[in-house]
């Protein structure tokens, strides 16, 4: 019997049910992944008990020698992984990382230019419902009818807006981001350039997506998603003065004591990302997403931009009677977990949407390859073709549960 089972059987039972759900389900949310047992072990370590306000060798508490060592190790591994000079590993999330960057480089009311939420951007890229759109004067660029960023159009907007910072990166954009082009635009208007690579970081470090450095002044990311580590954030730069401002913005500006147990887990994750096998994993993530997109197109579904260069496809239902919410629920009933998502030209509310976002990272971590993704993509289309057929959904769920049993998450190596 585990400590948790003995001390709190109710919580233990809920966690057991979640493990069963993850093992038996087909997880395709593009922002999720399955992390390593070693990462989870570090997160559950005795570092949970330690307060360590400040930075290595500059703490406000005693007894931080080991906290210093683990944070410095995480920093050094991140610097090697992303080939950069300065790293802050303390952000609790990608959103808090972005908030700290804005706090470091902007004043309230300053102008920022980011990708429109309904076109694939993120809440923290200036959406009006977010702090980023409330504290700063935010403007947006989007995609064209072909589902791709038009960099000439971005430049036109930037010339009119003259933002202090341009944010590139997305949460639902399936094509490569041209950081060099964004650098040219930023130079043209005298703006700082920040890249949020939360979704593509695992591909970037494997050489499977163009690198934001040396083009970007600041880069933020999460450490889960395609990196497959613990849930957390990261900020990077090659500019010493910017790094000092960012460090002050995180502590004491935005956060108190860092989560040392999560920083330890980040270090474990970064070591894993540095292994040669990671490149093969990232290649497989892209191959699986590509197959998925091809099948859905063959089955008559509209994929925004017509395909994918990364780990996700964005499926549009603008020409369908059903919504993203309807598709999300129907696929969930069939054991396939996706998320409803806004699409370019969105006509429905953000709570309903006209699309779904489907990702390949989590199932690739389980060891699935093109054949499995071809099957799953066809089953997605089967559900969508007859979206109100609960009997068919139940049949597909049973079939996919049998598939999932062949790729158990935590009792075998997956990459």
Catalytic annotation, residues? 51, 53, 196, 222, 225, 231
Question: Which strand (E) or helix (H) includes residue 234?
Answer: strand 233-237
Structure tokens at 273: 């990302």
According to DSSP H, which parts of 236-323 are helical? 240-248, 260-273, 277-298
The kind and range of the H/E element at 314 are strand 312-316
Distances (CA, A) of 20 to 17, 23, 200, 408, 410: 5, 5, 28, 10, 11
State both tokens at 246.
Answer: 């960012």
How far, in Å, CA of 410 to CA of 23, rounded? 9
- State how far the Cα of 310 lies from the Cα of 295, in Å rounded to an integer: 16
Question: How far apart (Å, rounded) are the C-alpha atoms in residues 169 and 222?
Answer: 12
Q: Are 344 and 143 in contact (CB under 8 A)?
A: yes
Cβ atoms of residues 32 and 359 within 8 Å? yes
d(CA 198, CA 402): 32
Tokens describing residue 131: 């702090």
Integer Cα distance of 348 and 325 in angstroms: 10
DSSP bridge pairs for 219 = 195, 236
Distance CA 227, CA 204 (A): 9
């Amino acid at each position: 019997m585990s400590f948790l089972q003995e001390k709190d059987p109710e919580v233990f039972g809920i966690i057991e049910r979640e493990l069963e759900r993850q093992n038996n389900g087909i997880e395709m949310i593009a922002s999720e992944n399955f992390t390593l047992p070693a990462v989870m072990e570090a997160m559950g370590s005795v570092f949970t008990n330690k307060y360590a306000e400040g930075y290595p060798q500059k703490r406000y508490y005693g007894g931080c020698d080991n906290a210093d060592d683990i944070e410095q190790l995480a920093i050094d591994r991140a610097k090697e992984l992303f080939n950069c000079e300065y790293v802050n590993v303390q952000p609790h999330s990608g959103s808090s990382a972005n908030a700290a960057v804005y706090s470091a480089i902007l004043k309230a009311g300053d102008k920022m230019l980011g990708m429109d939420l309904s076109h694939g951007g993120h809440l923290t890229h200036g959406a009006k419902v977010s702090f980023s759109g409330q504290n700063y004067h935010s403007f947006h660029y989007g995609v064209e009818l072909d589902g791709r960023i038009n960099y000439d159009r971005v430049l036109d907007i930037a010339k009119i807006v003259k933002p202090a910072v341009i944010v590139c990166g997305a949460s639902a954009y399936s094509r490569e981001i041209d950081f060099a082009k964004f650098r040219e635009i930023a130079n043209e208007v005298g703006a700082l350039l920040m890249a949020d690579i939360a979704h593509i970081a695992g591909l970037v470090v494997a050489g499977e997506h163009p690198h934001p450095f040396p083009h970007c002044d600041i880069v933020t990311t999460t450490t889960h998603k395609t990196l497959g580590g613990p849930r957390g954030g990261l900020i990077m730069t090659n500019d010493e003065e910017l790094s000092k401002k960012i460090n002050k913005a995180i502590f004491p500006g935005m956060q108190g004591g860092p989560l040392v147990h999560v920083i330890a887990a980040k270090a474990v994750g970064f070591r894993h990302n540095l292994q040669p096998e990671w490149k093969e994993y990232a290649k497989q993530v892209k191959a699986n997403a590509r197959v998925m997109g091809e099948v859905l197109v063959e089955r008559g579904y509209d994929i925004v931009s017509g395909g994918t260069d990364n780990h996700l496809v964005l499926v549009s239902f603008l020409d369908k009677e059903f919504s993203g919410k309807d598709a999300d629920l129907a696929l969930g009933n069939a054991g396939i977990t996706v998320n409803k998502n806004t699409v370019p030209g969105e006509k429905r509310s953000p709570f309903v949407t006209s699309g779904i976002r489907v990702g390949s990272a989590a199932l690739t971590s389980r060891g699935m390859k093109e054949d499995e993704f071809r099957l799953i993509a066809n089953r997605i289309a089967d559900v969508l073709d007859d979206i109100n057929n609960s009997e068919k959904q139940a049949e597909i769920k049973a079939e996919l549960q049998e598939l999932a049993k062949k790729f158990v998450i935590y009792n075998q190596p997956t990459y």
